[in-house]
Amino acid sequence: LLLPTAYFLWLVERHIETNGQFFFKTYTDSVWFTINSMATIGYGDTWPQTLTGRTLTASLCCIGLVLWTLPAGIISAGLTSIDEKRRESERLLRPAARLILAWWRLQTIKNQSRTTCGKQQVNGKCKQFIARLLYARLRREFRRCHYGTNDAYDVQLRVDIDRIFHCLQTIKQKLDAVDEKCLTDL
């Protein structure tokens, strides 16, 4: 587009003299003017004198504007996409770490509860149940961070989980009280 336009501009303007100067004396002068006009710089050192030359220059400026701004928009969109992916991975990092830690604790508690008996076994089962609830909650939070959420359902789920934790704490306190009573009776 640049070279043919410069050639046509040179053909139209090469014989036109302004103030004792030929602005488009050579083809390279025409290419220089075309590059400046296409990049919308327009130093003002040369300008076309004929209507055909001015029409070519005006259309060249419009086309140049599109050709220079379109890649800028594409590059900007690509960089924005990269930045969004980086933010999303950072946003998922903390929930993923918490989920992995909860899974590790659950596995550790499972392994410990296999080797215990008596009160420790009951206590281990309670710990294992609490660890499973925590793991399930964190897994749900991670999925919500990754895939989106249904707010009403999540609020109800949190209320239910809080009730279950409260009931478990009450049961644990009662078991500890019964265990202490049994120990004092012995």
Alpha carbon distance 130, 142 (integer Å) = 18
Give me the pLDDT at residue 107, please: 84
Give me the pLDDT at residue 127, please: 82
pTM: 0.39
* CATH class of the domain at 2-74: mainly alpha
Does residue 106 or residue 121 have the better pLDDT?
Answer: 106
- Reported for 14-19, long-range contacts at CB under 8 A and 24+ positions apart, including other chains, are 16/49, 16/50, 16/53, 18/49
